[in-house]
Amino acid sequence: MKKVLIANRGEIALRILRAARELGIRTVVAHSEADAESLPVLLADEAICVGPPSPTQSYLNIPNILSAAIVSGADAIHPGYGFLAENPTFAEMVREHGITFIGPTAENMRALGDKASARKIAREAGVPVVPGTDELQDPEEAKRAAAEIGYPVILKASAGGGGRGMRLVHTEEELERAVLQAQEEARAAFGNPAIYLEKYIEEPKHVEVQVLGDGERVIHLFERDCSIQRRHQKLLEEAPSTLPTEVRDGLLKSAVRLAEHIGYVSAGTLEFLVDREGNFYFIEMNTRIQVEHPVTEMVTGVDLVREQFLIAAGEPLRLKQEEIRASGHAIEVRVNAEDPDKNFRPSIGKVETLLWPGGAGVRVDSHLYAGYRIPSHYDSLLGKIIVWDLTRDAAIARMRRALEETALEGPGLKTTIPFHKKVLDNAFFRRGAVYTNFVARRMSE
C-alpha cells in the first residue's frame, strides 16, 4: 500500500491522514469545492476536487471518487464514516478496479447494514434482540405485531440511522399514520422505505462494543456508553460503561460471537440496549470506524485506524484478546456547531478565535483553524475533545477543565460546549444514572 485516497472530509479525513503518514503511506484527499481550504486538504500530499458542495455531487459521487483514485494512482481508499463508508456497491466497485478498500467486505455490509437483516443474523448467532418484526409490508401487519408485543413500540428504518425514519408509537390509533410517515422519511433519507417494528424499551442504556476482525478471528476492545443523545444522535461517549461485570462480560461475548458468525473484517461496532434489569439486546452493527472510536483508543492504547490499514493490507490480526487491557476512564464530547438553547439548531460562520485545550490526558480531533469558514452543506461536527484519567470522577474533572480552557468563537457561532459543561455538572451524570432519555428528562429539569 503506497498511496491512499481519503474519501471523506473534516476531522475523520485528518485522522486517517495522520494514521497513513505514520505508516509511510502517501495521502490524497478527495474534496468538494466547499472544502477546498479545509485542513485535511491543506495537509495532504495531494488533493483532488470531486464536485460541487452538495454531497450527492461530491462525497457520494461514486464515479468521481473512483476517477480521483485512478487519476492519482492511489492503490487504496479509506471511506471514513458516513457518506460511502457502508455502501456495499461502492466497496465492490473499489475492489473490482484493483484498489484496496480499507473497511469490511461488501458481504459484511450487506449482512449487517440492513437492520432487519441484522436482527435475523443475530438470532442465528444466539445473540438476544429486542422483541420485534422483520421488514413490515403494511400498517395492518404493524398493528398485529404491536398488539402481540405490547405498546409502546418504535418504528425504525431498515437501511439507516441517526434517528431518521424513527417513530415512537404509544397507541394503535397512532400507528397507521406513523408507519406511513416513517416509510416516507426512510425513503427520503436513504432511498429505501423499508421499516421494521420493535418493542420500545423504557430508559435503557445505549452501549456499544468495538471489535476488530480479519475474516478468521475477531477480538473486542471493550465497550462504550453512548446514552447521552438528542434525537437519537450521540453527544457524549465514555469508556468503560458503568455496567455490572457480569452484564459487561455477556455483552462482549455476544458481540464477538455475532461478528465471528459472519467472518467480519476490519473495525466495527455492535450496538446494544441494556435495560434496568441488566438484560441486553442487539440493535445494529456499524460496519465502519465510529465517530467515538477515540475513547476506546484512550483506554486500550490501540490505534484502530492503523489496525484498519494493516488488516486491509492482508495482515492477520496482530493482537490477541488476552493482550487487550482497558485502563482508566475516557470521555469524549462532540463539539458541534449547534445552539443548545434553541433545540440544537445548526449554527455556521467563520472561526475567528480558536484555542483547544491541552495538558496530560487530553486529546483533540478537529479540522478547524482560525479563519476557517464552516460550510453549511455538511454535518455540524467541528471536533471532539477526549480526555483520559485513572477514574471516572477524575476524567469528569479533567473534561470540565478542558472545556473551560477551550475558546471557539466567531460572529453568530454557537457550539455545544456550554451544554457539555451542564452535563458534567449534573448529579445524575456524575453518579452514572444515565439513560437514553437523559437529555430530555434530566437536562430539561
What are the tens digits of pLDDT across the range 369-416? Answer: 999 999 999 999 999 999 999 999 999 999 999 999 999 999 999 999
The whole domain housing 217 covers 205-443
Contact present, 119 and 198 (Cβ < 8 Å)? no
* Assigned domain for 125 exists: no
Q: Do 217 and 335 reside in the same domain of the chain? A: yes
In this prediction, residue 117 carries a pLDDT of 84
Task: Tell me the DSSP string of 170-236.
Answer: -SHHHHHHHHHHHHHHHHHHHS---EEEEEPPSS-EEEEEEEEEESS-EEEEEEEEEEEEETTEEEE
Separation between Cα atoms, residue 279 and residue 229, nearest integer Å: 21
pLDDT range class, residue 191, cuts 50, 70, 90: confident
Q: In what order do the strands lie in the sheet with 3-6?
A: 46-51, 26-32, 3-6, 76-78, 100-101
* Assigned domain for 120 exists: no
Helix (H) / strand (E) element for 280: namely: strand 280-286
Contacts of 314 (CB under 8 A, 6+ apart): none
Residue 445: is its pLDDT beyond 70? no
Q: Do 141 and 191 reside in the same domain of the chain? A: yes
Residue with cell 442465528: 124
Q: Do 296 and 365 reside in the same domain of the chain? A: yes
More confident residue, 278 or 162: 278
Residue 263: is its pLDDT beyond 90? yes
**pTM as predicted:** 0.92
pLDDT range class, residue 354, cuts 50, 70, 90: very high
Q: Is 214 exposed, middle or buried (0-12, 13-18, 19+ CB in 10 A)?
A: buried
Q: Do 213 and 151 reside in the same domain of the chain? A: no
Separation between Cα atoms, residue 204 and residue 206, nearest integer Å: 6
- Which residues in 136-153 are b (16+ Cβ under 10 Å) and which e? beeeeebeebbeebeeeb
Section 220-236 average pLDDT: 94
Section 226-251 average pLDDT: 95
**Residues forming the active site:** 288
Q: Which amino acid is at 253?
A: K
* Assigned domain for 114 exists: no
pLDDT range class, residue 232, cuts 50, 70, 90: confident
For 79, phi then psi, to 5°, come to: -90, -5
For 34, phi then psi, to 5°, come to: -70, -20
Separation between Cα atoms, residue 179 and residue 140, nearest integer Å: 10
pLDDT range class, residue 163, cuts 50, 70, 90: confident
Of 200, 207, 143, 216, nearest to 176 by C-alpha is 143
Contact present, 252 and 263 (Cβ < 8 Å)? no
Q: Do 214 and 330 reside in the same domain of the chain? A: yes
Which segments of 220-343 does DSSP mark as H helices, in order? 245-261, 293-300, 304-312
Q: Do 396 and 276 reside in the same domain of the chain? A: yes
pLDDT tens readout for residues 278-288: 999 999 999 99
Q: Do 10 and 63 reside in the same domain of the chain? A: yes
In this prediction, residue 116 carries a pLDDT of 78
Section 113-117 average pLDDT: 79
Question: What is the number of structural domains in the chain?
Answer: 3
The per-residue pLDDT of the chain, averaged, comes to 95
Report the percent of the chain where pLDDT is more than 90: 89
* Assigned domain for 109 exists: no
Q: Do 82 and 135 reside in the same domain of the chain? A: no
Separation between Cα atoms, residue 215 and residue 260, nearest integer Å: 8
C-alpha cell at 70: 485512478
Q: Do 92 and 138 reside in the same domain of the chain? A: no
Q: Is 411 exposed, middle or buried (0-12, 13-18, 19+ CB in 10 A)?
A: exposed
* Assigned domain for 420 exists: yes
pLDDT range class, residue 35, cuts 50, 70, 90: very high
pLDDT range class, residue 320, cuts 50, 70, 90: very high
Q: Which amino acid is at 97?
A: H
Task: Tell me the DSSP string of 60-128.
Answer: T-HHHHHHHHHHHT-SEEE--SSTTTT-HHHHHHHHHTT-EESS--HHHHHHHHSHHHHHHHHHHTT--
Residue 193: is its pLDDT beyond 70? yes
DSSP annotation of 35: G
The CB density around residue 199, as the number of other CB atoms within 10 Å, is 18
Q: Do 227 and 268 reside in the same domain of the chain? A: yes
More confident residue, 239 or 191: 239
Q: Which amino acid is at 205?
A: K
Section 203-216 average pLDDT: 97
Contacts of 128 (CB under 8 A, 6+ apart): 122, 254, 279, 280, 281, 282
Of 290, 288, 268, 292, nearest to 384 by C-alpha is 292
In this prediction, residue 7 carries a pLDDT of 98
C-alpha cell at 11: 476531522
Q: Residue 280 is part of a domain; what is its CATH number?
A: 3.30.470.20
pLDDT range class, residue 162, cuts 50, 70, 90: low
* Assigned domain for 119 exists: no
Q: Residue 181 is part of a domain; what is its CATH number?
A: 3.30.1490.20
Residue 97: is its pLDDT beyond 70? yes
72-81, 88-97, 116-125: lowest mean pLDDT where? Answer: 116-125
Q: Do 315 and 217 reside in the same domain of the chain? A: yes
Separation between Cα atoms, residue 315 and residue 216, nearest integer Å: 11
Separation between Cα atoms, residue 97 and residue 77, nearest integer Å: 11
Q: Which amino acid is at 292?
A: E
Residue 160: is its pLDDT beyond 80? no
More confident residue, 443 or 74: 74
Separation between Cα atoms, residue 316 and residue 282, nearest integer Å: 27
Residue with cell 450487506: 110
